[in-house]
Chain A
Amino acid sequence: MLSYVIKRIGLAAVITVLAVSALFLIVHMIPGDPVSTMLGPRATPEMRAALEARMGLDKPLIAQIGLFFANMLRGDLGMDVFSNRPVTDIVLNQVPYTLTLILVSISWSAVLGIALGCYSAVNRNSLGDRLTGILSVSVIAVPAFVVALYSLLIFAVKLQWFPAIGAGDAGDWGDQLHHLVLPSLAIGLSWVGYIARLVRASMLEVLGEGHIRTARAFGLPERRIVFGYALRLAILPTVTVIGVGMGFLLSAAVFTEIVFSRPGLGKLVIDSITTRNYPVVMGSVLFSTLIFVASTTLADIINAILDPRIRAGK
């Protein structure tokens, strides 16, 4: 078990290094000098001089990448072009907003999706199952920002049931929750369909296995078989899918934050692009990549803990 965890974390570290280097190289491949590219047209001469020194532009490319990593490990991602505050601080201020939004979205959709999936598997081929099936497939690919725009139009602008803008008053939980309803609906909707289908398929597979048949033969009530034994195995694929889906969740969060003018990584990136504040753009992209790599790694490890076949095999 431990060796699997170490191997998996090692792989994540290698991927992070490669991904960050790739990002670094992209900045360098753009025509023009990297300092102008990174700082944008609004940089002052002092900032240019500071960045040139920090990046070690006179050194070979490999040394520059090394320097970049050394700075990154110290938490130094450069300075904001406008406020001259450290990029790390600015980005870290926004991360909790995005993570809260993603966690709330995936939680409600996982609960509903698992419930619908179980219902469909137990009542296979019933009208409810078919209806759930068609609805799931219909919502799976609908882009989050379209759901966001429609719910904004209907529930915030026309009906005025929910607020249209912002994340709510700091410290007022009720208000914050009220502001989370529409954005988390937009992000979570497609996941309900996706998880429902996934749980249905794996539940049907599990229900056909030997130990479940044994439980049935012993006369255990169906309810206990489904919820006590089968469900635990049937939600395993969901864990992986949510981990791998973090990239989709982050992407959906970008759009949703823009539509509802919520603070967060997405809003930060877009605002920084429109003001050509490149260090902040790069810092945000870097952080979201780190979050993504961490979540896929975590999902794999959780899966290995829950399912002994993974850590033993392949």
Chain B
Amino acid sequence: MTDLTVPKPRSELGEIVYHLVRDPLGLTGLVIVLLILASALFAPWIAPYDPIALNVPDRLQGPGAAHLLGTDQLGRDTFSRVIWGGRVALQVALPTIGGAILIGLLLGMIAGYGPKWIDNLIVLLFDTVRSFPTVMFALAVVALVGPSLNTVIVVIMVTSVPTYGRVVRTLTQSLKEAEFITAEKSLGASTPRIMTVHILPNVLGPLAVLAAMDIPTVVGLEAGLSFLGMGVKPPTPSWGSLLNDGYNLIRNTPWLIIAGGIPLILTTIGFTFLGEALRDVVDPKLRGKGGK
């Protein structure tokens, strides 16, 4: 007897996850990213010590049973600081990229759909913002208003907007000419309706890929600025400030640098793998065009 039941079609999201998990690179990325998210989310339960509690008698210890990754110059537990540092990294990365996507979407769709002069104006704005080397620009702003988490978020958000805006603009422009949009227009659909119902959903996929690939850049920037003492203020644990402590004590102990660098490398590799695999699923045509 043959079984005639047709397999139930997967949902769109299910389809993406299915392909992602079958790609070894995608699976590795997904696992790393989930681990990082979980450790940041559950930091208070995972971290064995208070990340800012001083314990000077136990300072500068190597890895051991009591302290998995040793302690820093003030006797704080490095492993706990690494776990809590992940929280700070995501606290910066998520609002930064979320904000940049929102502004980029708005400006990019207006530029792509609107009249030529608005398009030119917005592209010029993007090009101007892009003409500042991000770190230099961030340092100038930090020099003037002082270092803080919010400064870092706003500066990186502003400098990231053009990346998203340009992609949205290009996609909107090509969608504008598509037959189904022309059909909608001839049926009398309003511009807001075309933008939100037809263009927006088609732009979101590529944006998600871009966002996944951009997270390591933002996390790296936050860590870099904190490393320079221009980002998160002590005693808040950040991977960057951990590396700064390690740099100052490099001749006393290698453990702070090793412990501060590994989560950064894992984060970048995890999100890049995930982004690459996601891109191949969302749009095979873009293969090999991601990066910087």
Judge whether B139 and A270 touch: CB under 8 Å.
yes
State whether B227 touches A134 (Cβ < 8 A).
no
A243 to B139, CA, bound (A): 22
Q: Which residues of B contact A258 (CB under 8 A)?
A: 228
7 nearest A-B pairs in the assembled complex, by CB-CB distance: A201-B288, A251-B135, A143-B220, A141-B268, A141-B216, A250-B133, A247-B133
**Quick check: A255 and B230 within 8 Å, CB to CB?**
no
A227 close to chain B: CB less than 8 A: no
Question: Does B291 lie within 8 Å of A194, measured CB to CB?
Answer: yes
Q: Mark A239-272, 1 if CB is under 8 A from B, else 0.
A: 0010011111011001100110000010001101
Which of A248, A273, A282, A296 has a CB less than 8 Å from the CB of B292? Answer: A248
A11 to B289, CA, bound (A): 26
In the complex with contacts A141-B213, A146-B264, A149-B246, A15-B133 CB distance below 8 A:
no
**B276 and A137 contact, CB distance less than 8 A:** yes
Q: Would A273 and B139 count as touching, CB distance under 8 A? A: yes
CB proximity to B under 8 Å, residues A172-207: 194, 197-198, 200-201
Q: Are B132 and A140 in contact (CB under 8 A)?
A: no
B183 within 8 A of A: no
A215 CB–B CB distance under 8 Å: no
Q: How many residues of A contact B (CB 8 A)?
A: 61
Give B226-240 interface residues, CB cut-off 8 Å to A. 227-230
User: Contact flags (1/0) for B114-141 with A, using CB distance below 8 Å?
Assistant: 0000000000100110111111110111
A68 within 8 A of B: no
**26 A-B residue pairings within 8 Å (CB atoms):** A15-B127, A19-B132, A22-B128, A23-B140, A137-B272, A138-B272, A140-B272, A141-B220, A141-B268, A145-B223, A146-B243, A146-B261, A146-B264, A152-B250, A157-B254, A158-B254, A201-B287, A241-B291, A245-B292, A247-B132, A251-B133, A255-B135, A269-B139, A272-B143, A285-B137, A288-B136
> Chain A: interface secondary structure?
helix
Is A26's CB under 8 angstroms from B250's CB?
no
Residues of B within 8 A of A149 (CB): 243, 246-247, 257, 261
Cα distance, A33 to B130, chains bound together (Å): 28
A282 and B143 CA atoms in complex are apart in Å by 9
Give the interface SS of chain B, mostly helix, strand, loop or mixed: helix
Q: Say if the beta carbon of B142 comes within 8 Å of chain A.
A: yes
| Complex alpha-carbon distance, A153 and B243, angstroms | 12
- A152-B256 Cα distance, complex, nearest whole Å: 13
In angstroms, Cα B225 to Cα A269, docked, is 13
With an 8 A cutoff between CB atoms, is B164 at the interface? Answer: no
Q: How far is the CB of B149 from chain A (nearest CB, A)?
A: 18
Q: Does A235 contact B (CB under 8 A)?
A: no
The answer, yes or no, to whether B194 is at the interface (CB within 8 Å) is no
B130, A247: Cβ atoms under 8 Å? yes
Q: Which residues of B contact A270 (CB under 8 A)?
A: 139, 228
State how many angstroms separate the Cβ of A195 from the closest Cβ of chain B. Answer: 9
Given contacts A288-B133, A293-B131, 17 further A-B contacts (CB under 8 A): A11-B127, A15-B127, A15-B131, A19-B132, A134-B25, A137-B272, A141-B216, A142-B264, A146-B243, A146-B261, A149-B257, A149-B261, A152-B247, A201-B287, A201-B288, A251-B133, A251-B224
Which has the most chain B C-beta neighbours within 10 Å: A141, A259, A269, A296? A141
